[in-house]
Amino acid sequence: MKTWIGIGASFAVAAMLGALHYAEANAVLQFVVGIIALALLAWTVGVGTETVGSRFGSATTGVLQSTLGNLPELFIVVFALRAGEIVVAQTSILGSLLANALLILGLAIIAGAFRAENGVMRFHRRLPNDTTMLLMLVVFMIAIISTSISLGDKASDNAGTISVIGAVLILCVYGAWIANYLRAGAQQEPAIDQEHAPPMSFRAGVVVLTLAGVAAAFTSEWFVAVIDPATEDLGISKAFTGLVIVAIAGNAVENVVGIQLAWKRRFDLAISVVKNSVAQIAAFLYPALVLISLLFAQRLTFGVPAGGLVLVVALVFAALAIWQITGDGEAAVYEGFALVATYAVLATVVWFE
């Protein structure tokens, strides 16, 4: 019952945004309603995926979940690219990465370590280390192309071509990894409680998923259209909007799950939800969007403009931080605090940009 209320609310808020959009209402109002609509639709997509996925076993569900869970994110970036909002497109991808890797992981660790018996949350080391590897690969792409651009050398004129080649290579590595992950996962016991029955029938799940996808597409378009006037009225920079507001809205609800699982002492599953999300945005969503952007006038590359080297530094440290903190399969409360503090410092810097 609660599930259906939530689903209804997500469609209602999305419809409200549509009404405000065509009524040409106040930009800031539309902006706020848009954030709420996106967060609720992300949750609805999550419920739909879980239902549909319950037919396939846990590892497949996990991958389905993170893939479809990134649907709203995908739409925002596609519409931002179509609207020529290249800064919002790129910063919202990088922001999702950083928000997941620092803020959400930090909160999950704080919750988990607080509830763990001797204050130390323990989990398997393989997935965190694989995520670090995939993240490092993408951060390398970003760092090398951005350095080239900031030097203004010849390679920077070909940032688009290099990004396409890099995107294909990264997708191959991701493919090899996910194939191995699914194969290994098929032999494991189900990650998700079997007792926890799906909240609706398979058929209803497919319908909800389809409708939520369509609604997410429209909502993203309306939201992107209002970013420019709203951020101007609010006096917030576009980088802050992409890196913090859109990033948190697009991932918030799905990530609450990670923190809840940590609180319930299901440490491995919590880490798996958060880390899979990071791995997927870095090594699937970003390269896929680089290839998709070939259809648009505005091309998305792995290169950050010279003024954005701060972001490259932040990404390098985020990759090192999650490696250092989760690589040993143990995390204490203060390590969670350190991740959250890193994110807060970054948000502060971007606020002033």
Least distance to a second copy from the beta carbon of 82, Å? 28
Q: What angle do CA 236, 240, 246 make, to 5 degrees?
A: 105
State both tokens at 257: 């799950």
**For residue 245, what is the DSSP state?**
I
Nearer to a second copy, 221 or 335 (CB): 335
Minimum distance from residue 1 beta carbon to a second copy (Å): 40
CA R_g for the chain: 20
- Residues in Cβ contact with 156 at an 8 Å cutoff, skipping those fewer than 6 apart: 145, 148, 149, 303
Handedness of CA 305, 309, 315, 316 (dihedral sign): positive
For 43: left if phi > 0, alpha if psi spans -120 to 50, otherwise beta; the answer is alpha
145 versus 271: smaller Cβ distance to a second copy: 145
In the three-class reduction of DSSP (H, G, I as helix; E, B as strand; rest coil), residue 122 is classed as strand
235: left (phi over 0), alpha (psi -120 to 50) or beta: left
Closer to a second copy at the Cβ: 140 or 296? 140
Tell me the two tokens of residue 169: 């290579």
Nearer residue to a second copy within complex by CB, 8 or 307: 307
Nearer to a second copy (CB atom), residue 84 or residue 152: 152
Q: Which is nearer to a second copy, 72 or 166 (CB)?
A: 166
CB of 136 to a second copy, least distance (A): 6
Residue 2 phi/psi, 5-degree rounding, is -55, -35
Q: Smallest distance from the beta carbon of 268 to a second copy, in angstroms?
A: 18
Closest distance of CB 219 from a second copy, Å: 31
The contact set with a second copy (CB under 8 A) reads 119, 125, 129-130, 132-134, 136-137, 139-141, 143-145, 147-148, 151, 153-155, 157-158, 161-162, 165-166, 169-170, 172-173, 176-177, 180, 306-307, 309-310, 313-314, 317, 320-321, 323-325, 328, 332-335, 337-338, 341-342, 344-346, 348-350, 352-353
Phi–psi pair at 297, nearest 5 degrees: -70, -40
Q: How far is the CB of 23 from a second copy (least distance, A)?
A: 35
Token pair for residue 5?
């209320």
